[in-house]
Structure 1
Amino acid sequence: MTNLPIAPTESLLSPITLFMQADLVVKTVMIGLLLASIWTWAIIIGHGLKLKRVRKASEAFEKDFWKADDIDSYYDGPGKADLPPARVFSAAVTEWRRSTAGATVDREGTRARLATAMSAAVGAEIDKLSDRLSVLATIGSVAPFVGLFGTVWGIMKSFTDIAAQQNTSLGVVAPGIAEALFATALGLFAAIPAVIAYNRLAHVIDRIEARLNRFADGFHGTLSRELEL
């Protein structure tokens, strides 16, 4: 009586077993995708908390700023805070003092320079806050293809083993195919959170940028009125 091939058990198809039995190339792909996934979650948690702190602190700074009676005293005190609106405020005050230091003041030139200084400061702050987003975008776009490469390589190896053993039974085919598909799963496991987090964090940064621009416009209007006195 011919013995029928036994299908692989669940333990043989567990993630750890699939990794241990995988080809060196597929293992390298899996390790890289796992590290990318860990890196993704580290950015999501760390940068997400940072943006939350920055947003709340910036809102508190702006509320205090608009209640201040003396801009110069505020500049020497809370204006030195390590916050995006504080640095925009500092850039404006610095440019104001330079432009109004002479005997005669070019009003239109001063307004233009103030707008340029604050716009540059806003851009610099947004660049800092957006720094980690490029990593998420890269992982989100590249990880699926890296996983697919591991899958293609694993399937090629499985077909090579089938040809060598001349046996197409499930017990021969399934482990290699499962190892290959596991690489694709890891690629999606790294890419999906990265894409979702990128879109969410980009939205938060866009809101911070809009708030900074409103703050800059408001302060620019305040300084413009000072030029008319």
Structure 2
Amino acid sequence: MKFFKYLFAALSIVVVSSCASLTGYQDGRSLGEEAFEMTGSLNLSQSPDFFFDDEEVLDNFFFPNIEIAGKYGATDKLDVGVKLNTNLNFSLTSKYQLLGDRQSQTALGIGADIGTFGLISSLWNAQVPLYFSVHPSEKFTWYLTPRYIFQFAAGDLSTTIHYYGGNTGVLFGRKNKFGFDLGYYQLSNFSSSAVDLITVGIGGRFVFGGKEEETLEDDSMKKKPRRRK
């Protein structure tokens, strides 16, 4: 009997957390025009406590998922991308840098994401993240991403869920970065008690190309001394 309770709890946490991507790993800086970034991460989502009719309490547990994301620098300030994880969540993402540039010690950006569960599901979510980061050096980043998520079923707004929370973490590395992420969200549909959800994870970001990189390579070639004949 307890096996079925764990199965029910696992399915519940998948439905609650999979409709929305709850990962971080992003700072306030944009990629830069024509740059491309790949992100991969392993994340654990903590379930709430589950209470059953027989008064048994099933303690919370962590449920794993793997997420990959791709992002492209459409302009110097605007990034667009996609996310896909093993919870069957698919998202289209965007980020616009509001303050600072790619060398600023402090950066701020805003995003707008839309996602769905299972690609063909009627469950959708819309996200508005705010990306803030501090860069004491080019090899260390601390970020904070407060986020609001509105989850709904197409054609049935009575099943909406509101997510309030965000992510924070640290990244190490100059161009390619590795880091740790921690997220906390409170879920509510205003008709029942709120549910707390915690996520933890590790991940890496890998950047390729970009106009700025091409410019640096050209400048490096120009600075090479010519050999005397």
Structure possessing the higher relative contact order (Cα contacts under 8 Å, 6 or more residues apart)? 1
Structure whose residues are more often strand by fraction = 2
TM-score of the two chains, using structure 1 as the length reference:
0.23
How high is the TM-score relative to the length of structure 2?
0.23
